[in-house]
Amino acid sequence: MARKNGGLRFQPSGGTRAAQVPVGKKQRLSVERLANDGRGIAFIDGRTWFVSGALPGEEVEARVLDARSKVIDARAERVFQASPERRAEPCVHARICGGCSVQHIFHADQLALKQRQLAEQLERLGGLRPESWAEPLTGPEFAYRRRARIAVRWDVRNKRLDVGFRAAASQDIVAISECPVLVEPLQPILRALPALLGGLQAPRAIGHVELFRGTASAVLVRHTEALSEVDLASLQAFCSVHEAQLWLQGEGEPQPADASQALGYRLDAWGLELAYRPGDFVQVNAAVNEAMVAQALQWLAPQHDERVLDLFCGLGNFALPLAQQSREVVAVEGVQAMVERAAQNARSNGLGNAHFYQADLSNSLADASWAAGGFDAIVLDPPRDGALQVVRQMASLGARRLVYVSCNPTTLARDSGELLQQGYRLKKAGILDMFPQTAHVEAMALFER
- Residue ranges of the annotated binding site are 91, 97, 100, 179, 283, 312, 317, 333, 360, 381
Ramachandran area for residue 374 (φ above 0: left; ψ -120 to 50: alpha; else beta):
left
- Give the length of the chain: 449
Binding residues for [4Fe-4S] cluster: 91, 97, 100, 179
Which has the closest alpha carbon to 302: 333, 266, 278, 327? 327
d(CA 262, CA 300): 32
Q: Is the dihedral of CA 366, 370, 375, 379 positive or negative?
A: negative
Amino acid 57 reads G
Strand order in the sheet with 377-380: 132-133, 425-432, 442-448, 401-406, 377-380, 307-311, 328-333, 354-358
Q: How far is CA 230 from the centre of its chain?
A: 36
Binding residues for S-adenosyl-L-methionine: 283, 312, 317, 333, 360, 381
Residue 313 a catalytic site member: no
Termini Cα distance of the chain? 43
Candidates 407, 412, 426, 434; catalytic one? 407
d(CA 439, CA 114): 7
State the catalytic residues: 407
